Amino acid sequence: MTEHKKTGFLKRFFFSLDHKDIGFQYLLTAMFMAAFGGFFVYVFRYNLAFGPDDIPLYGNLAAKEYNQLVTNHGAIMIFWVGMPMVLAVLGNFLIPIMIGTDDMAFPLLNKISYWTFLLSCIVLLSGFLMPTGAFGGGWTMYPPLSVSDFGYNNPNTTFKANFFTGNTFFLMAVALEFISMLMGGINFIVTTLNKRAKGLSLMKLPIVVWMINIASLLFMFSVGPLIAGTFMLLMDILVGTGFFDAYRGGDPILWQHLFWFFGHPEVYVLLLPSLGVVGEIFSTFSRKPFFGYKMVIFLVLIAGILSLVVWAHHQFVSGIDPGAANIFSLLTIIISIPFAGMVLAYLGTLWRGDIKFTVPMMFALGMLASFTFFGGFTGLHLGSNVFDIYAHDTYFVIAHFHYTLFPSVILGGFAAIYYWYPKFSGRKLNKTLGKIHFWGTFIFFNSIFIPLFWLGLQGQHRRIFDYSNWDKLLMQPNHIMARQIATVSLIFLIITQFIFLFNFFKSLYKGKVAEKNPWKSNTLEWQASSPPGHGNFALYPAVYRWPYDYNHPDRDTDFLPQNEK
């Protein structure tokens, strides 16, 4: 509605209420946190391959520090990179502009959500400055590891001493992060329900908007019990209650139930938005209508509901009732049916399409391929408690969940960045650097985790700091070699990301100027100018058709935007 005004840097990046600016703030913060997560994994992987002494850029690594780095790597990558990247960045940037409106339903709430998120980052990182050091009890925060030194167990500590610990700060950071994402999610759902353009019914929404909203709903449904659990754990640490203290009748496994009730849907919260991105990209670059649009939406809803009742498959080795374990196994394996249907629909979209191998398309193909072939299939095996009991504490599980989360957060996230970059910056990324970045990321990612699958099946336990202390524990030359291949690949993977950073920031100022609709795509955001001004559209668009009318028989052009009659 309004003309685009040039605003100052400070105003744009700190006080702007515009949804695109807030999305960009989330993106930069997530990249900043990813640098920490990436550095931590470099340090502890280097230790696993070459020993703890003289790690370049770090120095000597102690066993306690190893635990802290692993814990914070996991938490940062899931809560402070994954959640903002796929939910907050995509939701903020895409939802208003894809549904043809000017901004979120509650712009101020959106800003508060970002500030809360930034505060949670600061609280988490300041855990490293505490006298006892950062939290090192695993990102899942299982008691008794997360409470053992505190509260009732150590009557000499005061409230103040319990408060200024890595454990307390970690828990508070997680709680703040959830509050931030709750505010964001409420905004997404209300915006989608109430602010759609004229003629844009729910069944004409782009698939990625559907996915972000279903992911937000899933988050809302599942996060309550974990907030309750976090509250109880904080009480255990600070006030000395005994919820998770077996000595006083409490139950440590209760925490695992509360945590994984959230933890499993969380995987889908991270996966669904990026599946949505892949869907958009497949349809655009195959120049074909999206195959099975309604089927995919209903399958996602079914998978979302099922994901709320499979949590105990993370606890097969925690000593839960074997009868219950069988039921959870069955439900877990059933959940692969909707996902198989979705992959079928995606392949149907590609089938006999006029496929264009652009950089976003390559990332999207890489995402779906690695997620399905390794993440999904090994998940099917681990879902069966018979196999899981043997594999659970090995590197097989590590490789499995990295094959689900890395494609959905990193590959899907890069696909989204490369696809929508011309829109949000008004400039194009360098194509050659993009392709180098894709092949580097894809190859090195696989060469990290395929050796870990093998090591896991060989029986390499996943929570050991120094294998050389146990001669019998996988210290044959080929085991050491496999660990070293994984670590060297990781270092190359990190180096590859600098190509992306260079490309990203250079193109922001020096890239080729992008036209309005560089990919010839149909959705509404491509009808706004690049970059869209404050208010997004000069005239609010009216919508006449669904977003995937590629190669419509009545038209000469191979695309047909949603707002054309």
Interface with other proteins includes 185 (CB under 8 A)? yes
Interface with other proteins includes 465 (CB under 8 A)? no
Interface with other proteins includes 249 (CB under 8 A)? yes
CA distances, 296 to each of 204, 303, 480 (Å): 13, 10, 44
x/- mask, other proteins, residues 258-277, rule CB under 8 A, reads x--x----------------
Whole-number minimum distance, CB 151 to other proteins, in Å? 8
> How many Cα atoms within 13 Å fall on the side-chain side of residue 479?
17
Rounded-to-5 percentages of helix, strand, coil across the chain: 70, 0, 30
Interface with other proteins includes 495 (CB under 8 A)? no
- Nearest by Cα to 136 from 266, 241, 40, 243: 40
Our CB check for other proteins shows the closer of 467 and 546 to be 546
CA distances, 369 to each of 60, 65, 275 (Å): 38, 35, 12
Which of 52, 91, 143, 250 contacts other proteins by CB under 8 A? 250
Interface with other proteins includes 243 (CB under 8 A)? yes
- Nearest by Cα to 531 from 47, 72, 20, 163: 20
Interface with other proteins includes 144 (CB under 8 A)? no
Where is 425: in which H helix or E strand? helix 412-425
The site for other proteins, by CB under 8 A, has a size of 43
Our CB check for other proteins shows the closer of 149 and 251 to be 251
Which of 28, 129, 161, 239 contacts other proteins by CB under 8 A? 239
Our CB check for other proteins shows the closer of 100 and 379 to be 100
- Nearest by Cα to 210 from 267, 112, 295: 295
Q: Which residues contact 21 (CB under 8 A, 6 or more apart)?
A: 12, 13
Give the chain's length: 565
Contact 255, 233 (CB under 8 A): yes
Whole-number minimum distance, CB 147 to other proteins, in Å? 13
Whole-number minimum distance, CB 106 to other proteins, in Å? 7
Whole-number minimum distance, CB 202 to other proteins, in Å? 8
| Alpha carbons 27 and 536: distance in angstroms, whole number | 19
Contact 366, 435 (CB under 8 A): no
Residue range at the interface with other proteins (CB under 8 A); choices 125-133, 232-240, 472-480, 518-526: 232-240
Whole-number minimum distance, CB 193 to other proteins, in Å? 6
Interface with other proteins includes 174 (CB under 8 A)? no
Our CB check for other proteins shows the closer of 190 and 369 to be 190
Residues that bind other proteins (CB under 8 A): 105-106, 151-152, 182, 185-186, 189-190, 193-194, 196-202, 220-229, 231-232, 235, 239-243, 248-251, 254, 258, 261
